[in-house]
Structure 1
Amino acid sequence: MSRRIPPLNPLRVFEVAARTQNLTLAAEELHVTQSAASRQIVVLETYLGVQLFRRERHGVTLTRAGARYASQVLPAFEMIAEATKDLTKGTSQGPLRVRTYTTFAAKWLIPRLAEFRALHPSIEVRISNDVPDVDFDRDPVDVAIQFGDGHWKGVQTDLMFHDEIEPVCSPRFLTTHAPETKYPHSLLRQRLLVSRYRRSDWDEWLRASDLVDEAAQAERMDFGSTLLSWQAAADGLGTAIGQTELLSGEFASGHLVRPFAKPLLSSRAYYLVRPQAQRETHKVSVFRDWLLSVCAPVLERQKTQ
């Protein structure tokens, strides 16, 4: 048998009017006129077939039936309010929980976090690392930074910047194996360092640069992460495929160089990912604004390439 539940808007007006014992105060709390609140009470009384309030010269008072009904309805609304508070406090309060990849966190996000903390010292940022796409129903995070084509179901996405790849190696490795800087192609006959999660990068870059044959006989050495392949390149084990935007620090310090200076801009990109249905909190809003402002110059440069 289906439950009989009265219309919820009139019930909400009754709850506030019964709690405040004042129709004017109830109308103010609900941001409606007193006459509108009064009409909602009439709707509820008509539905129930019971008078809930006495209309008196100086206001309203609960009838005996109204008081009995209020004694059960008010605790129910309080339970709903507490349940809502409990459900939303994890997203509106506490630290900003960001999920991304280890490589992106280490090489791009963490070096820039000091700037965000200086602008918003009251917002603590906690970073977690994982490879699979985020599931906001399953994963305890507020936002994620993901890599792909931007077509994920049930989320909102903001383009940060496109993927840009090219070979990188140490200065010493370049000098040893390609002493003629105008002809770095001999590097491609040496060891190529391959990341497990970016296994196709070398082949994509070689095809786009028309250098597949040059690297046909090269030894390939696999690593479990992109970070490890870059460290191996910095230590002179071979040439890795770098993600240009993520290695600006290594280029500036001279630990890695770009021997070909021929970056390949792919169709994939980094995106800020947010829940589609969830109301955006202040901490998410300011982090999004800051992140996109930092990425804007990169996107502008990539548009001109």
Structure 2
Amino acid sequence: MNLRPRRYLPSIQQLLAFEAVMRSGSSTAAAEELGLTQSTVSRLVQSLEEQLGSPLFHRRRKRLWPSELATGYVAEVTRALNIIQHASMQIAVNPAGGTLSLAILPTFGTRWLAPRLKDFLSCHPGISLNVSTRVPRFSFGTEPFDAVIYYGHADWPDAHHQKLFDESHIACVASRFLQGRRISGLDEVAALTLLHLENRPTAWEDWFSAQGHAPRLGSGGMMMDQFSMIIQAAIQGLGVALLPEYLAEDELREGRLVALPFPAVRAGGAYMLAWPDTRQMGRPLAAFREWLAGQCDHDRPNGP
């Protein structure tokens, strides 16, 4: 039996007081936030220091100055409080079916995942799904997510992976952007204003290379951080968008964009689902993985 020494398990009240003082900068501000008196907050912080056997603050002229120990300790305390709060919210919101917290890419979420979620929730009515957008990578140890959908390779640290589907790119423009010109050569494409995605910096070079041509690209392009912005920029006639085929379907069908006469090019990465290998997989995540696999299999002949 693994007994946890009481000395190393401060109370929630002590940790909340300490974290609030560190975040707000004073015991007075922390007391207002927590609905306590200033003296109560001070006593909680002092009792925490006594329990740990180390000073967390330097006290000068009735002010608290965090020690180096406190600066490192508060990051871990904040993470632990977030995990406890997240777990408690899951039980409170959905005590029967469980909750799945998912991080996704913004445009993938709105274009591909969101239209399909009604089906998942219908198949699993007891599961609550919380979805947040994330572009930069994060650590499962510091963020309260059960899984993430991202673009790349099976290299998310400390995680299991499931491939969803590959991505193929096509070059698209608004018809008015061409102003009656016929684009038939790759040099002509390279001379146009190219719209670049921030986290795919070599996408255009890869596309030209796959076409069997590597023209020197000019510096007159535009850089954006989401596909949704690139799509709108292309529709407004600001340049040529290199888009995943599944993202361009609606705009091509409705005539807001037209595809240039070059083959689609398979991109180097794929859409992946990752989940931490340090946690036991719960029923909500298992159900979501199985449902995702079915959706991707269904789409594969005509979609991604």
Query: Do the structures match in fold with TM over 0.5?
Result: yes
Q: Distance in 2 between matches of 1:95 and 1:4?
A: 28
Q: Would you say 1:171 and 2:178 are equivalent positions? A: no
**Contact kept in structure 2, 1:198 and 1:226, CA below 8 Å:** no
Q: Would you say 1:190 and 2:220 are equivalent positions? A: no
Which residue is 2:274 aligned to?
273
Q: Distance in 2 between matches of 1:281 and 1:4?
A: 24
Q: Would you say 1:203 and 2:205 are equivalent positions? A: yes
CA RMSD of aligned residues (A): 3.2
C-alpha spacing 1:290/1:185, structure 2 compared with 1 (3 Å): farther
Gaps of 5+ in 1: 6-84
Deviation at 1:291, TM superposition (A): 0.9
Which residue is 2:74 aligned to?
none
Q: Distance in 2 between matches of 1:123 and 1:247?
A: 31
**Contact kept in structure 2, 1:184 and 1:260, CA below 8 Å:** no
Deviation at 1:186, TM superposition (A): 3.5
Q: Distance in 1 between matches of 2:261 and 2:213?
A: 11
Which residue is 2:226 aligned to?
225
> How does 1:1-305 map onto structure 2 within 5 Å?
94-174=98-178, 176-179=179-182, 186-213=188-215, 216-217=217-218, 219-299=220-300
Gaps of 5+ in 2: 4-83
Q: Distance in 2 between matches of 1:107 and 1:207?
A: 28
C-alpha spacing 1:152/1:223, structure 2 compared with 1 (3 Å): closer
Deviation at 1:256, TM superposition (A): 2.4
Q: Give the 3-state SS of the residue equivalent to 2:199 in structure 1.
A: helix
| One-letter amino acid matched to 2:109 | A
C-alpha spacing 1:112/1:87, structure 2 compared with 1 (3 Å): closer
**Contact kept in structure 1, 2:86 and 2:144, CA below 8 Å:** no
| One-letter amino acid matched to 2:265 | L
Instruction: Give a deviation string over 1:250-304, Cα, whole Å, max 9, x none.
Output: 333332232234111133111111121322222111111111111124556799x
C-alpha spacing 1:144/1:216, structure 2 compared with 1 (3 Å): closer
Q: Give the 3-state SS of the residue equivalent to 1:252 in structure 2.
A: helix
The more displaced of 188-197 and 155-164 is 188-197
**Contact kept in structure 2, 1:206 and 1:212, CA below 8 Å:** yes
Deviation at 1:190, TM superposition (A): 2.0
C-alpha spacing 1:86/1:129, structure 2 compared with 1 (3 Å): closer
Q: Distance in 2 between matches of 1:226 and 1:266?
A: 15
C-alpha spacing 1:186/1:267, structure 2 compared with 1 (3 Å): closer
More helix by share: 1
C-alpha spacing 1:233/1:4, structure 2 compared with 1 (3 Å): closer
Instruction: Give a deviation string over 1:164-197, Cα, whole Å, max 9, x none.
Output: 22211123334x25347x6686444221111222
**Contact kept in structure 2, 1:98 and 1:125, CA below 8 Å:** yes
| One-letter amino acid matched to 2:260 | P
C-alpha spacing 1:183/1:245, structure 2 compared with 1 (3 Å): same
- Identical-pair percentage: 25
- Greater C-alpha Rg: 1
| One-letter amino acid matched to 1:241 | L
C-alpha spacing 1:122/1:170, structure 2 compared with 1 (3 Å): farther
Deviation at 1:95, TM superposition (A): 3.3
TM, length-normalised to structure 1: 0.62
